[in-house]
Structure 1
Amino acid sequence: MRILIVGSGGREHALAWKLSQSPLVDKLYIAPGNGGTAALGENIPIHDDDLPGLTTFAKDNAIDMVVIGPELPLVLGLKEALAHSGIPCFGPNAFAAQLEGSKAFAKTVMRESGVPTAPFRVFDDAKDARLHIAERSMPCVVKADGLAAGKGVVVCSSREEALEAIDEMMVKQVFGKAGERVVIEDALRGEEASFLAFCDGKTIVCMPSSQDHKAVGEGDTGPNTGGMGAYSPAPILPPEDYEMMTDLVIRPIVRHMAAKDNPFVGVLYAGIMFTENGPQVLEYNVRFGDPECQPLLTRLDSDLAEIMTACIEGRLHEIDIRWKAETAICVVMAADGYPRSYPKGMEISGFAEAETVEGVTVFQAGTRPEDGRILASGGRVLGVTALGADLAQAQKRAYEGIEKIHFDKSYFRRDIGDKGLRRMK
């Protein structure tokens, strides 16, 4: 198979790493890719929102399957563009991708399909949103309706914070058009977990649970990021609860999409808050999470190309998907200042040394190759990922790997996995 992976982050490096292990795969292209993917296939300088460019490349290079990593090309309709040229695509169509592309759409689907979620209101006018804040109790959550790279969610403990969030999103438009509409919902308290599943439109195969760390600071403090680390499995969602959780938060959505004649094909991701009143869905994503993808694919003990092909062809029920018993953890090394302004261009060293630590794989995210060197080019630069017999061993190995990697102005959280360790005690 000749496969084109769309995207440039740590998720896409992990996808290329896993797909390159498949005997079914002859050639990998990654558009636009990064410093890590360049070692596994051929990076193509086409951005992930350039639908005509991606489609033309896929046609001209006899691509057998396109694997879409990030959400933006899915929301824009890359699957449909490829379908016009007869090119199979792993990922949902634009209608189903609204589950991530529009918070209002997702919340409405949850309400219609009976998925537990926080009470909410949708606002297109800043004045109406302000009036609602004046009347409602605190705390609340203000969400930009559209895509905001994982940063368009503000948990507000006071009316002043909520009004400021509305002003930033709807008036100042710090997230562009994504903030023209907002969702305001009750703030849920508890511990989060991520629950992902492979889907072929009918059959659902859940993956092991995982837990992301969104906040930039230790102890889950500071602004939200795209994710500062993740591990799998998450003790708060043990294997004996997977089937129940699938019935509660995955199967109703897949049935709803099928009933709308838009069957969901790809990876469906539920972000769940475990509250005193039971699990509640915070959001849906329509692709592998980043950084959840890295520990999940590190644990996957089956052929990813075979799984993806079966999803596209509607025969996922035929595939035996196996997972390693070990725990995996990914710790993100970022540029200091992320998710706000941050430096770029720092040379990175120590990749080979880090991977001498047993179980460690370094996935590159915000990097670019230049004259035989790897330079930092984004906010989240690397995802140091480790397998271990348990969470404690995996965590120890990941941080040992980090100590061997060097670039100026680097930053990472030192508490990734601590919540899981506390819960296990």
Structure 2
Amino acid sequence: MKVLVVGSGGREHALVWQLKRSPEVEKVYCAPGNAGIAADAECVAIQVDELEKLAEFAASNGIGLTVVGPEAPLCDGIVDVFRRHGLLVFGPDKRAAQLEGSKDFAKAFMVKYGIPTAKAATFTAEAPAADYIRGEFAAGAKGIVIKADGLAAGKGVLVADKEADALEFLHGCFDGMFGAAGAKVLIEECLVGEEASILALTDGNTIVPLVSSQDHKRVFDNDMGPNTGGMGAYSPAPVVSDEVWKKIDAEILKPFLAGIRAEKLDFHGVIFVGVMVCDGQPKVLEFNVRFGDPEIQPVMRRFDGDWFDVLKKTAEGRLADAKLVWSEDPAVSVVLASGGYPGKYQKGFPISGLEDAAATGAVVFHAGTAFKDGAIVNAGGRVLGVSARGKSIAEAIEKAYGAVDKIRFEGGFCRRDIGAKALKYNK
């Protein structure tokens, strides 16, 4: 069967890499893809927001399954478009995608179905929101979280421990910093604990979690600096103990499934639950309706089954029949970013050492790369995800950084502590 993956980042490369391993897959296409994906799939020059063109390509090329990577086309209704064309597609429809597309919608869903989360208030005007912030800090809050309601390319959230910073960010939201996404804001209490990422497949009748993982959002070591799209991840996340897993299943995943069924949400895809584990109690930070990036990279490195079969059965409503096979070996993925990221950065620098990195046994997933004058160059903020498996988390870390150190491009940098939080659990 032919498969189409929609997207152009490290998440899509990891999905392509797994899908092409299936004996059932004849060919993988990726739209639009990138320089690294081009080695594993045929890239198609259609952008992720060209929904009708994507559906027409799938119909005319005999695509048996389309897997949508990014959140924007899901929130724009790509699944609805594909369904109108009679095409099989992995992902939630436009209405269900509001669980990521609107923070207010998602929070109301959590409250309605008793899913543990931070207390929050929603505002559509700056003045009452500012008064609320001042009141929270006056009452002794150590910090608050401000979220633009809509999609803001991962930049519409601020964790503020100072009132002035919170008010400045709030003003930016209502002043158009995030366009229409900031016309409504959610202000939450700041949960304190250790984060983990829970990815779970669902077809509306069954929900099946993947192995746990943990992202590293801050740009510099020791969680310093501004938030990014993710500087690396590892799997499993030891903070998700057996006892925490039981709570996640009973208090989050089962109520989530009950909720989407009660609301008649058409969801044949993946729910990404960002959780904060506070003294052994998991609370939901956010929902995303697509695979997390970079989390999906180490998760895919640990998957030893037929990923195509799993995704196809999810899209068909037969997830209960799918078989997920996982390696016990941990995996680590380290992101190499362009100098200046997440702020302004320069593109177009040749990347060397990719073959040497792959020769170590690591897999290099391309996120922001392109071809220029026959060479692979950096073309985005997050450029590569270097992923390795090991018999222990320490070995996986060593292998990943051993491969990272083979790669060079002007200004390129990475965090040097990806996975370090897991090591404390092994002492």
- Name the TM tier (shorter chain): over 0.9
**Contact 1:208/1:239, CA 8 A, preserved across alignment:** no
Structure 1 window deviating more from structure 2 (63-72 vs 125-134): it is 125-134
Match of 2:379 in 1: 377
Task: Output the CA distance in 1 between the equivalents of 2:56 and 2:25.
Answer: 21
2:391 pairs with 389, 392, 405, which one?
Answer: 389
Match of 2:401 in 1: 399
Task: Output the CA distance in 2 between the equivalents of 1:338 and 1:287.
Answer: 23
Say whether residues 1:269 and 2:268 are aligned partners. Answer: no
1:161 pairs with 162, 165, 187, which one?
Answer: 165
AA paired with 2:301?
A: T
Match of 1:108 in 2: 108
Shift of 1:315: 1.4
AA paired with 1:74?
A: L
Secondary structure, aligned partner of 1:73:
helix
Q: Could you give the per-residue CA deviations for residues 108-142 of structure 1, whole angstroms, max 9, x where no partner exists?
A: 10000101011000011111111111222331111
Q: How does 1:87-166 map to 2 (within 5 A)?
A: 87-137=87-137, 138=141, 139-166=143-170
**Contact 1:196/1:269, CA 8 A, preserved across alignment:** yes
AA paired with 1:154?
A: L
Secondary structure, aligned partner of 1:368:
strand
Task: Output the CA distance in 1 between the equivalents of 2:241 and 2:133.
Answer: 37
Secondary structure, aligned partner of 2:359:
coil
Structure 1 residues 200 and 229: CA distance shift in structure 2, 3 A: same
**Contact 2:247/2:282, CA 8 A, preserved across alignment:** no
Say whether residues 1:357 and 2:360 are aligned partners. Answer: yes
Shift of 1:54: 1.1
AA paired with 1:88?
A: L
Q: How does 1:36-47 map to 2 (within 5 A)?
A: 36-47=36-47
Task: Output the CA distance in 2 between the equivalents of 1:60 and 1:2.
Answer: 12
Task: Output the CA distance in 1 between the equivalents of 2:346 and 2:177.
Answer: 20
Q: How does 1:53-72 map to 2 (within 5 A)?
A: 53-72=53-72
Runs in 1 of length 4+ with deviation above 3 angstroms?
none
Task: Output the CA distance in 2 between the equivalents of 1:299 and 1:153.
Answer: 30
Task: Output the CA distance in 2 between the equivalents of 1:284 and 1:144.
Answer: 14
**Contact 2:244/2:281, CA 8 A, preserved across alignment:** no
Q: How does 1:67-78 map to 2 (within 5 A)?
A: 67-78=67-78
Q: How does 1:317-332 map to 2 (within 5 A)?
A: 317-332=320-335
For structure 1, list consecutive stretches of 5 or more residues without a partner in the other structure: none
For structure 2, list consecutive stretches of 5 or more residues without a partner in the other structure: none
Say whether residues 1:7 and 2:7 are aligned partners. Answer: yes
Shift of 1:277: 7.2
Task: Output the CA distance in 1 between the equivalents of 2:12 and 2:246.
Answer: 28
Match of 2:22 in 1: 22
Q: Could you give the per-residue CA deviations for residues 312-335 of structure 1, whole angstroms, max 9, x where no partner exists?
A: 121111122110010000000000
Say whether residues 1:227 and 2:264 are aligned partners. Answer: no
Shift of 1:241: 4.0
Structure 1 residues 136 and 240: CA distance shift in structure 2, 3 A: closer
Secondary structure, aligned partner of 1:96:
coil
**Contact 2:244/2:280, CA 8 A, preserved across alignment:** no
Say whether residues 1:193 and 2:196 are aligned partners. Answer: yes
Aligned length: 423
Match of 2:174 in 1: 170
AA paired with 1:352?
A: E
AA paired with 1:167?
A: H
Structure 1 window deviating more from structure 2 (331-340 vs 236-245): it is 236-245
Task: Output the CA distance in 1 between the equivalents of 2:62 and 2:395.
Answer: 44
Match of 1:205 in 2: 208
Task: Output the CA distance in 1 between the equivalents of 2:127 and 2:53.
Answer: 41
Q: TM-score, normalised by structure 2?
A: 0.97
Structure 1 residues 241 and 127: CA distance shift in structure 2, 3 A: closer
Secondary structure, aligned partner of 1:343:
coil
Shift of 1:242: 2.8
Q: TM-score, normalised by structure 1?
A: 0.97
Match of 1:79 in 2: 79
Secondary structure, aligned partner of 1:216:
strand
Question: For the aligned residues, what is the CA RMSD?
Answer: 1.2
AA paired with 1:165?
A: F
